[in-house]
Amino acid sequence: MDAATAPPPAAVEIVALTKRYAAGTPPAVDQIDLRIASGSYCCLLGPSGCGKSTTLRMVAGHESVSAGDILLDNRNITHLQAAGRGTAMMFQSFALFPHLSALDNVAFSLKMKGVSKVERHRRAGQLLERVAMGHLAQRKPAELSGGQQQRVALARALITEPRVLLLDEPLSALDPFLRIQMRAELRRWQKELGLTFIHVTHSQEEAMALADTMVVMNHGLIEQVGSPHEVYNHPASEFVARFMGGHNVLAVPGGGLIAVRHDHTRIAPDGEGLAADVTDVEYQGTYVLMGLHLAESTPERRGVSVQLTERAFAERPYAVGERVRLSWTAADARVLGPGATRPEARSPGTPSVRQPLAALASMAA
């Protein structure tokens, strides 16, 4: 694939997409709407079982669609064969054939299409050069490092000249050190190739490191779509705030919930604010993370955390058992919406994705 002939990236549009595996069970994916910009890195994020892989497999054409549509640059691909869609899939742990050389792994799909050996080796060789693996083309997967295997898997996916690359938990089975290296490399390749990537992960850290756009899913619904910065700093619902981590969810007088980041929650030995008791103190190097129990709260929302810089903690350490007061500024409080609702429960015209409301007034009074 020469740069001049490389296919352009495609925008992906998902309209009221639904998957119901069996009658009488809740849908695995429930009328979701999503637009993914051409050439962007999109991460589908959420807990196990929320419908990420089902969504990705429907886009790939590996799973039938119960209702709704999938468009690639305005072309409806919902009922096309997987091979005719302009998408390609990269699987967990790369799923290379162990008995084939890197070159033959990359050339495999061309062999299936009946492309001559000379031609498929030429094209596979070019792609291996492209991912800086040309010199290792004759190695078997077991003779390659994790990073090299990932590049072979990438070249193998690219040989079909996809306009959208689909990745289902490609890094989840790797050890933590390799995972961080490989994700930096994936990000670099996505930018260099200029393709649209849709990457499924259950790790919020991975999604934040990779994504231009994060799509947070829960129970087959989309809870929030936004840049990592938007989602982390303006979680739309209690689910998103808790799933992303790093936030305290607090009930405010008059009903309603706010989220305040652990590092924006202020702590004082006395004065104004919510009474809380210190339950743990964890040293984390650059910061100290304190666990606390609110004195007045429902059991599910009693636990909160405060993150202090190492220096702030050194200046005024807190001990387990100490009673303190928690406060925050109005600018640091995010009002949480109710979260995504099932389509049948929506009133007409209600968007499935909640927008964050204006920040609520300070609670310190």
Positions in the binding site for Mg ion (CB under 5 A): 53
Query: Between 23 and 358, whose beta carbon lies closer to ligand ADP?
Result: 23
- Closest to 85 measured CA to CA, from 142, 152, 166, 172: 166
Going edge to edge, which strands form the sheet with 213-218?
87-90, 164-168, 196-201, 41-45, 213-218, 221-226
- 54's contact among Mg ion, ligand ADP, none, with CB below 5 to 8 A by partner kind, is ligand ADP
Nearest approach, Cβ of residue 72 and ligand ADP (Å): 21
Strand duo 12-19 + 67-72: pairing: antiparallel
Interaction partner, residue 48 (ligand ADP, Mg ion, none; CB < 5-8 Å by kind)? ligand ADP
Distance between CA 308 and CA 148 in Å, rounded? 40
Residue 74, Ramachandran bin (φ over 0: left; ψ between -120 and 50: alpha; else beta): left
Min. distance of Cβ 31 from Mg ion in angstroms? 20
**Least distance to ligand ADP, CB of residue 219, Å:** 9
Taking the complex as a whole, how short is the minimal distance between the CB of residue 26 and Mg ion, in angstroms?
A: 17
Residue (92 or 297) nearer to ligand ADP, CB? 92
* Interacting residues with ligand ADP (CB under 6 A): 21, 28, 46, 48-54
Q: Which does 196 bind (CB under 5 to 8 A by kind): Mg ion, ligand ADP, none?
A: none
Query: Which residue's Cβ lies closest to Mg ion?
Result: 53
Nearer to Mg ion, 56 or 127 (CB): 56
Residue number, 53 or 213, with CB nearest to Mg ion: 53
Three-state SS at 195 = coil
Q: Terminal CA-to-CA distance of the chain, rounded, Å?
A: 64
Q: At what angle do helices 146-158 and 117-130 cross, to 10 degrees?
A: 130
Quickly tell me which residue has 């799933």 as its tokens: 243
| C-beta of 58 vs 249, nearer to ligand ADP | 58
Look at residues 196, 200, 229 and name the one whose alpha carbon lies nearest to residue 217: 200
Backbone angles phi, psi at 292, to 5 degrees: -140, 160
- Decide which of ligand ADP, Mg ion, none touches 151; Cβ closer than 5 to 8 Å per partner kind: none
**Interacting partner of 245 out of ligand ADP, Mg ion, none (Cβ under 5 to 8 A depending on kind):** none
The residues, ordered by sequence, that sit 6+ positions from 5 with a Cβ below 8 Å of its Cβ are: none
| Minimum CB distance to ligand ADP smaller for 46 or for 125 | 46
- Judged by beta carbon, residue 63 or residue 332, the one nearer ligand ADP is 63
Query: For residue 314, what are its two tokens?
Result: 């050194």
Cβ distance to Mg ion smaller for residue 28 or 278:
28
SS3 assignment, position 143: helix
Is residue 150 within 8 Å of residue 185, measured between CB atoms? yes
Give min distance, CB of 57 to ligand ADP, in A.
8
Q: How far is the CB of 92 from ligand ADP (least distance, A)?
A: 11
Closest approach, Cβ 1 to ligand ADP, in A, equals 30
Residue with structure tokens 């001990």? 319
Partner that binds at residue 164, options Mg ion, ligand ADP, none, CB closer than 5 to 8 Å by kind:
none
Integer Cα distance of 75 and 84 in angstroms: 12
213 binds, among ligand ADP, Mg ion, none (CB under 5 to 8 A by kind): none
